[in-house]
Amino acid sequence: MSSAFFRVVWRELRAAFGSPVAYIVTVIFLTVTGWFFFTPFFLNGRADLREFFRLLPMTLGLVVPAVTMRVFAEEFSTGSYEVLTTLPMTRFDVLLGKFTGSLLFILLMLVPTLAYPIIVATLGDLDPGPVVGGYLGTILLAALYCSVGLFASALTKNQIVAFIIGLALCAFLVLIDKVLFFIPPSLTGVLQYLGADYHFGNVAKGVIDSRDVVYFLSATFVGLYATNLVVERRI
C-alpha cells in the first residue's frame, strides 16, 4: 500500500466527518436501530441481539448509500477527479482509498451500537458467539454495501441519483431471498445465494461458514471491479 492510498483514506474520512450529511445519517441510523431493537426487547425477554442483527441489512442498506453517494459523484461534478488522477497516484490508490475511507466511516458509525451487547450482558446471560459473528458479518456486509454504493456514485454526477441507485441495489440484495416463492423452484437456489441477507443471517447466527465469507468477499470485489470500469469509462 502506497502512501497515496493512506492519503486518500484520510481525505475521505475528513470529507465524511466534515459534511453534515454524515452526522444526520448517523443520528438517524442509531435512533432507528435503537428504537427497533429495544422496543420488542423486553417483550421477547431474551438476552440476545438477534433483533438488532435481523434489521441491520435493511438499515445499513439505507445508510451506506447516503454516505457513499458523495464519493465519486462530487468529484465528477466539480471536476476535482481530474486533479486527483493527475497527482502521482494510481487509479487503484484512489478506488481502494475511497472504499476503505467509506468503510471506516461506516464502522465508526457502528461503534456506539457496541453499547447494546454490553447492556444486554448486564441484564442476562448473553451468548458471545452470535454477537461476534454478528459484528463480523456486519463488517462484511458494510464492505459489500460500500462497494455497491461507490458503484452507484461513479455512475452519475448527481448525488441524489447516486443515493437512489445505491438504495435500489442494496434493497435488491436484501429482498431477493424474500420473494423466492414468486420464482420458479429451479432458480431459487441461485437467487438465494445472491441475497446478502441470507448470508448475513448465517454469519450472524455465529456460524462462520467459508461459503458466506467467500460470497461477501467476491461480491465486494465485483462491486469494486464494476466501479473501476465505470470510472475508466467516464474520463
Binding residues for another protein (CB under 8 A): 3-4, 7, 10-11, 14-15, 18-19, 78-80, 82-83, 85-90, 235
Residue 82 CB, nearest approach to another protein (Å):
5
DSSP for 94-106 reads: HHHHHHHHHHHHH
Query: What residues contact residue 136 under an 8 Å CB cut-off, 6+ apart?
Result: 203, 208
Query: Among candidates 172, 170, 191, 193, which has minimal Cα distance to 180?
Result: 191
Residue 81 CB, nearest approach to another protein (Å):
8
CB nearer another protein, residue 82 or residue 209: 82
DSSP for 2-33 reads: -HHHHHHHHHHHHHHHHSHHHHHHHHHHHHHH
CB nearer another protein, residue 87 or residue 183: 87
Query: What residues contact residue 235 under an 8 Å CB cut-off, 6+ apart?
Result: 81, 82, 85
Residue 144 neighbours by CB distance under 10 Å: 28
CB nearer another protein, residue 33 or residue 153: 153
Residue 151 CB, nearest approach to another protein (Å):
22
CB nearer another protein, residue 7 or residue 54: 7
Residue 163 CB, nearest approach to another protein (Å):
18
CB nearer another protein, residue 3 or residue 186: 3
The C-alpha cell that represents 153 in the structure block: 456514485
Residue 24 CB, nearest approach to another protein (Å):
16
